[in-house]
Amino acid sequence: MPELKIEREHTLGLAGARAVAERWREQAEQDWGMSCESEPGESEDHMRFARSGVSGELTVTETRFDLHLKLGFLLGAYSGKIEQKINANLDALLGPVA
């Protein structure tokens, strides 16, 4: 099963990062048909998401977004394009990587 790991640093603090993660969740559910489940914590939040052929977890801290995505066999062939789309989405939400 192909996997993608995307890590992004930010300066939003935990409250700001939670707001961005919530916007990401809304997009994932509406645009990509994901089912998302959030688990807030004191110093980090975990968001698990899934749909047919894709599952993963987004970990949000006051300084980082860590996205771990597992692609099924059919979507694995498109892993490069999927990674580009996710990076563009994170650029729009967090700003481009420095």
Measuring CA to CA, how many Å separate 1 from each of 19, 31, 53?
Answer: 31, 23, 10
Mean pLDDT score across all residues of the chain? 92
Question: CA 49, CA 12: separation in Å to the nearest integer?
Answer: 23
- Residue 94: its pLDDT value, please? 85
Q: For residue 50, with 0-12 CB atoms within 10 Å meaning exposed, 13-18 middle and 19 or more buried, which class applies?
A: middle
Q: Are the C-beta atoms of 72 and 78 separated by less than 8 Å?
A: no
Residue range(s) defining the domain that contains residue 85: 3-94
Q: How many domains does the chain have?
A: 1
91 pLDDT band, cuts 50/70/90, is: confident
- CATH number for the domain including 61? 3.30.310
Question: 8: closest CA among 19, 21, 27?
Answer: 21
Q: Tell me: the pLDDT tens digits for 34-77?
A: 999 999 999 999 999 999 999 999 999 999 999 999 999 999 99
29 pLDDT band, cuts 50/70/90, is: very high
Q: Under DSSP, is residue 80 helix (H, G, I), strand (E, B) or coil? A: helix
- Residue 68: its pLDDT value, please? 97
Question: CA 81, CA 76: separation in Å to the nearest integer?
Answer: 10
- Residue 18: its pLDDT value, please? 95
pLDDT at 98 over 70: no
Question: 25: closest CA among 44, 42, 4, 39?
Answer: 39
